[in-house]
């Protein structure tokens, strides 16, 4: 990197350290550190070397240099795993009960362990030791759509849903048994408000009883992907490291990508993706265009609800738009995201476009394998986390996982006592 006044700042920020942290660690005054920051003077070589070391990809507390270990509960098709592997983690246990999701997961990840099934039937002691627990526990009992449907059918929702709602407590019992250094939980935005806040209060009380320090934030994926998709993330730490989502950088949503970035070009500029595209120009297959019958039905359905003052209807999008939330029901009629077509009925997204929309397919990366039917693929991507969002959270958590943030000089015993060592002053860079 070229020498300039921002070099110290760049390495300091990459290390996840504030100016106050540098002062605490080194024993130098804030005034001196500000002089380093402003390129008025340069730190001793030993300080610079340690900053460079800390700024490199790091491990969790005392975990070996091969990286930290995490477990992937309610794994789906591996979005959380993909994100945490990108910051140096190694998956040592996976749990996913759906056979089709397991099929997709195994097609895309090398597993040196079997995928466990129903988490309620797995003993905590049979799960290997780990540093981080990841769990996108089922959201249907807490989602707005899920609650509305269950209310209409007279069925319980939230923690009253025995099939799914109580699975959070299986996460809690595993945390209680293994006491991992950290966890990340993910769910729908409505979790915070479900049952007038009572559901979220129970979750917080449980985490308090476990003795973990945690914070949560609702994050919209539209800063990274052309989709309005809000999810709540709850990050917890066994030790009080001062973690807060307040300072996490969220890219400006208005500058986020548009749908054209994930749509098939259909002009021959990209490779074909059979069976989703056909012909030399890789045109989207006609099977994704809505039939006259379905398109007429959706228009009548939307008009009926508009007349009643409801907001229900289809979402018609152009390349320069962002979409509504892709849901697991997309396979039914595709109504939430319909792509306009010239002189034709609108069409659904293809599963390949869904993979891009959720962040499993990225430009320049290995193509995500979709080994299942379109119906199953739509369900899987509709239930998945947006990989880019979890990557951003994982990157933000990493300095805290490493134990560098918020610690004072005496706690950083692995670092030398800088002021007591006489070293030759040397320029860095």
Alpha-carbon distance values, 413 to 33, 106, 273, 410 (Å): 21, 42, 54, 6
354 is catalytic: no
State the span(s) of the chain assigned CATH 3.90.120.10: 259-382
| pLDDT tens digits, one per residue of 232-270 | 999 999 998 888 999 888 999 999 999 999 999 999 998
User: What's the mean pLDDT when you consider all of the chain?
Assistant: 82
Res 416: pLDDT? 37
List the beta bridge partners of residue 429: none
pLDDT digits (tens, 9 = 90+) for 407-421: 443 444 334 333 333
CATH of domain 7-58+405-420: 1.10.260
Residue of 37, 8, 392 whose CA lies nearest to 222: 392
Measured distance CA(81)–CA(91) in Å, rounded:
7
Confidence at residue 424, expressed as pLDDT on a 0 to 100 scale: 28
**Cross-strand bridge partners of residue 235:** 184, 215
**Bridge partners (DSSP) listed for residue 233:** 186, 217
In sequence order, the 6+-apart residues with CB closer than 8 A to the CB of 217 are 232, 233, 245, 248
- pLDDT at residue 2 greater than cutoff 80: no
**Residue 62, pLDDT above cutoff 80:** no
The verdict on domain 259-382 having CATH code 2.40.50.140 is: no
pLDDT band for 151, please (50, 70, 90 cuts).
Answer: very low
Catalytic one among 139, 161, 241, 354? Answer: 139
For residue 422, name the pLDDT band (cuts at 50, 70, 90): very low
Strand 230-237 to strand 182-188: parallel, antiparallel, or no bridges (unpaired)? antiparallel
- Which residue spans of the chain are classified as CATH 3.40.50.150? 69-248
Asked if pLDDT for residue 299 goes beyond 80, the answer is yes
Residue 4 or 42, more confident: 42
Residue 76 predicted with pLDDT over 90 = yes
Tell me what pLDDT residue 146 has: 41
Question: What CATH code would you report for 69-248?
Answer: 3.40.50.150
**Predicted local distance difference test score (pLDDT) of residue 409:** 37
Residue 376 confidence class, pLDDT cut points 50, 70, 90:
very high
Average pLDDT over residues 271-290: 93
Point out the least confidently predicted range of 318-332, 355-369, 377-391: 355-369
How many CB atoms within 10 Å of residue 286?
9
Q: Is the pLDDT of residue 271 over 90?
A: no
Sorted by sequence, the CB contacts under 8 Å of residue 213 that are 6+ apart come out as 236, 237, 238, 239, 240, 241, 243
- Greater model confidence, 194 or 271: 271
Residue 411 is predicted with a pLDDT of 42
The confidence band for 403, taking pLDDT boundaries of 50, 70 and 90, is low
Name the pLDDT band for 230 (thresholds 50, 70, 90). Answer: very high
Q: Which pLDDT score, from 0 to 100, does residue 55 have? A: 67
The confidence score (pLDDT) of residue 56 equals 63
For residues 144 and 190, the answer to whether their CB atoms sit within 8 Å is yes
Is residue 31 very low, low, confident or very high in pLDDT (cuts 50, 70, 90)?
A: confident
pLDDT digits (tens, 9 = 90+) for 326-346: 999 999 999 999 999 999 999
What is the reported pLDDT for 364? 66
């Amino acid at each position: 990197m070229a020498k300039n006044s921002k070099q110290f700042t760049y390495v300091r920020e990459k290390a996840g350290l504030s100016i106050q942290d540098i002062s605490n660690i080194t024993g130098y005054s804030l005034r001196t550190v500000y002089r380093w920051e402003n390129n008025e003077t340069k730190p001793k070589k030993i300080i610079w070397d340690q900053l460079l070391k800390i700024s490199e990809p790091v491990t969790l507390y005392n975990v070996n240099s091969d990286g930290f270990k995490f477990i992937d509960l309610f794994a789906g098709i591996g979005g959380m795993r993909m994100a945490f592997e990108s910051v140096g983690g190694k998956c040592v246990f996976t749990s996913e009960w759906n056979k089709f999701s397991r099929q997709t997961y195994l097609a895309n990840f090398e597993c040196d362990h079997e995928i466990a099934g129903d988490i309620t039937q797995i003993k905590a002691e049979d799960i290997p030791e780990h540093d981080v627990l990841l769990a996108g526990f089922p959201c249907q009992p807490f989602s707005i759509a899920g609650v509305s449907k269950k209310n209409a059918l007279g069925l319980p929702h939230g923690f009253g849903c025995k099939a799914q709602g109580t699975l959070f407590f299986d996460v809690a019992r595993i945390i209680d048994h293994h006491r991992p250094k950290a966890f990340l939980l993910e769910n729908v935005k409505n979790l915070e408000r479900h049952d007038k806040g009572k559901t979220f209060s129970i979750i917080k009380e449980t985490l308090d009883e476990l003795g973990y320090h945690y914070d949560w934030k609702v994050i919209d994926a539209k800063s990274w992907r052309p989709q309005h998709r809000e999810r709540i993330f709850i990050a917890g730490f066994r030790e009080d490291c001062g973690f807060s989502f307040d300072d996490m950088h969220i890219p400006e949503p208005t500058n986020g990508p548009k749908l054209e970035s994930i749509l098939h070009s259909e002009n021959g500029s990209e490779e074909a993706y059979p069976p989703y595209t056909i012909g030399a120009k890789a045109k989207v297959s006609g099977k994704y265009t809505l039939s006259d019958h379905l398109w007429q039905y959706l228009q009548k359905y939307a008009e009926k609800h508009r007349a009643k003052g409801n907001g229900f209807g289809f979402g018609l999008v152009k390349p320069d738009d962002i979409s509504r939330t892709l849901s697991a029901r997309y396979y039914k009629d595709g109504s939430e995201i319909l792509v306009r077509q010239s002189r034709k009925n609108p069409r659904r997204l293809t599963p390949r476009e869904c993979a891009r929309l959720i962040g499993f397919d990225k430009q320049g990366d290995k193509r995500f394998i979709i080994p299942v039917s379109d119906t199953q693929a739509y369900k899987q991507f509709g239930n998945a986390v947006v990989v880019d969002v979890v990557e951003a959270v994982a990157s933000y958590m990493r300095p805290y996982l490493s134990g560098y943030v918020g610690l004072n000089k005496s706690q950083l015993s692995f670092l030398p006592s800088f002021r007591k060592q006489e070293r030759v002053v040397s320029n860095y860079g």
